[in-house]
Amino acid sequence: MKLVIIEGVGKKDTIKKYLGSDYEVVATKGHVRDLPQKTMGVNTKNNFEMQYTIMPDKQDIVKMLKEKSAKADKIYLATDPDREGEAISWHLCNILGLNPSDPIRIEFNEITKNAINKGLEHPRAINLNLVNAQQTRRVIDRLVGYRVSPKACKAIQPNLSAGRVQSVALRLVVDRENEIRNFVPQEYWSVVANLKKDSSDVFKASLVKFKNKKIVPAKKEEVDEILEKLKTGEYKVKSVKKSLSKVHPSAPFTTSTMQQDALNKIGLSLKKVTSCAQQLYEGVEIGNEGKVALITYIRTDSVRVAPEAQKMAKDYLLAHFGKEYVPDKPNEYKVKSSAQDAHEAIRPISLDRTPESVKEFLSPENYKLYKLIYNKFLASQMTEATFNSVNVEIDNSDYIFKSSGKTPVFDGFMKIYNTAKKEKAQENDEDESENAKLPELNEGDLLTFVDMKTTQKFTKPAPRYTEASLVKEMEEKGIGRPATYTPTITLLSSRKYVEKDGKYLKPTELGEKLIEFLLKGYEGLFNVNFTADMETKLDEIANNGLDYLSVMKKFNDYLEKLIGQPTEPEHTGIMCEKCGHEMVKRVSKYGEFLACSNYPQCKNIRNIVKVCGVCPKCGGDVIERKSKNGKIFYGCNNYPKCDFISWEIPVEKKCPKCGSYMTQKEMYGKLRIKCSNENCDYSETIKKENKDEKDS
């Protein structure tokens, strides 16, 4: 009997049906051996010797593996084809008494009979470079966790964790929130003319230049002045530029681009995308066929496509679409220099297994994701789409308006995969003159003015991250790797460091306090460049055999230097009424509070009271409170004697219309003061004092 040991139990039946009765397939259900839970388990004084132990919940699995391996004629280790999988196989060698230099390791990028047989025909030794990279990552993460987390717990609250990748991802979210808070909107105006030629349809043209210099009116007075000058002139076509434009298909999916498109296009959460992709990779029940894998390995940063897959796509396109949809030579996509490129891009295993043909066997989410992956891959192997593009400039009194339009010539890859516009950092409104339906225009044509639309607008800050845009940012900045995006972002939510505001990620008060603390003493450790550089070093260990011990030593020396810095909680000068020690600021998931510095001997705590105004009902203090759901509201400190509450901050000013109290709310850099009486519509807007203006 030959024993094949795999990692995930989900693909056990899929693999077993291809191997026959001479093989037994068993699963480890992930890692079976790790550093101990209650001690650091790394001897930094002795070449970073690691004290591995069998994980408590894997004792029975290890016992089963030992029993079955003792009876097996041959053992193959077929854990996942990545660093973690290689490390699991190496640990199994130690547990089962196997020689890692023997040809016992097999791997396959897809779960098909052909791929598995190829793996069995070409077994290899354990790749110690991959193992060393994984161990280095594990040790560095353990050092950070064991040395920095306790200091955060002491300064803020118990049970906090700092992580090499996790905390940098959190910092991105916190930094973006601070950008939004500090953003001062700038007023600007759009000027759009509605024009027509003879009896043609009306089209829009936007004001863009004055005397060939870009113009963006900042005030209504500027707009009025422009409109006055335009009244005396005529609208004349200055230039017409026509061209044939091409839109090329984008590369097939990597892990991160699959996650981004699935989040943006089909609305799945990051955790759900990963779960669905894992099921499609491991295999789903397809009628009488049993378990069948539908896609290739899902943890990859490569856009490379195997030659046999390119041929499969070409044959399918010729048969179902025609030769005009097949490029002269297969489309090749550039792999990023930072990519590990260990596996090809995510793609369907067989194009004959169309999404519609397997729809009845898939959950709605699995079907949507499979269709997305299927169409993305097929589109990546198709010809480009072509358009006739027209760009027009129109002159009136040296004011230049522009309008553009395009009409499709050939749909190409867009026949099956229409590329959505990328999210704009400013999320401003689209230019109304883009993609206009234009009449036939020639230089010198005089146009008829219909009307003018002027719109007041304000610049907007960059939006908060969504799960999709955070994954994109992490990949672009080199924070983490394909296998870590989902667990990192999921951990931030589960530990209450971030929360969802609709589809956007917002840092909690606890998350902001943690980052504030980490940046005071450990900014060099928790910054993007340092984290990205460490990921590069791990890649060099895996790919080029960089000395992993020197990497660990250098990191440990740097960490010990940082650890020597003081990390005291924030002092308040307020004394504990129970024991006389000073009260210090700490943070829970519900916000800041005061706690006795003599903890755990004294467990006295107090709320931090934030006075926001005068109660309009009894004259007491209005203080900031939080509901059970964490939403801020304002109530009287004389509660329960006074039951005043409001979702907005009350102000002392009375409504001049009905006499009720008024409330204030900040919107786009301005304060909006409105009457609290639902039957009264009085409100006024006050521009907030600009700090720069104040200082000047």
Active-site positions read 297
Type of residue at 657:
K
Give dist(CA 696, CA 101) in Å, integer. 73
CB-based contact 258:373 (threshold 8 Å): yes
Query: Helix (H, G, I), strand (E, B), or coil: what is residue 365?
Result: helix
59-71 and 83-96 are packed helices; what angle lies between their axes, rounded to 10 degrees?
70
Strand 2-6 to 23-27 pairing: parallel
Strand 42-43 to 213-214 pairing: unpaired
Give dist(CA 548, CA 546) in Å, integer. 6
CB-based contact 447:236 (threshold 8 Å): yes
Give dist(CA 389, CA 404) in Å, integer. 7
* Omega before residue 640 within 30° of 0, cis: yes
CA 413 and chain centroid, separation: 27
For the beta carbon of residue 258, count every other beta carbon within 10 angstroms: 25
Q: What is the DSSP letter of 569?
A: P
How many helices (H) and strands (E) would you count in the chain? 18, 30
Alpha helices in 41-125 (DSSP H): 59-71, 83-96, 113-121
Backbone angles phi, psi at 407, to 5 degrees: -125, 140
How far the first Cα of the chain sits from its last, in Å, is: 84
CA contacts within 13 A on the Cβ side of 633: 14
Torsion of CA 457, 462, 464, 469, to 10 degrees: 120
For the beta carbon of residue 617, count every other beta carbon within 10 angstroms: 15
CA 630 and chain centroid, separation: 24
CB-based contact 129:541 (threshold 8 Å): yes
Short-list 130, 39, 41, CA closest to 77: 130
Q: Which helix (H) or strand (E) holds 138?
A: helix 128-155
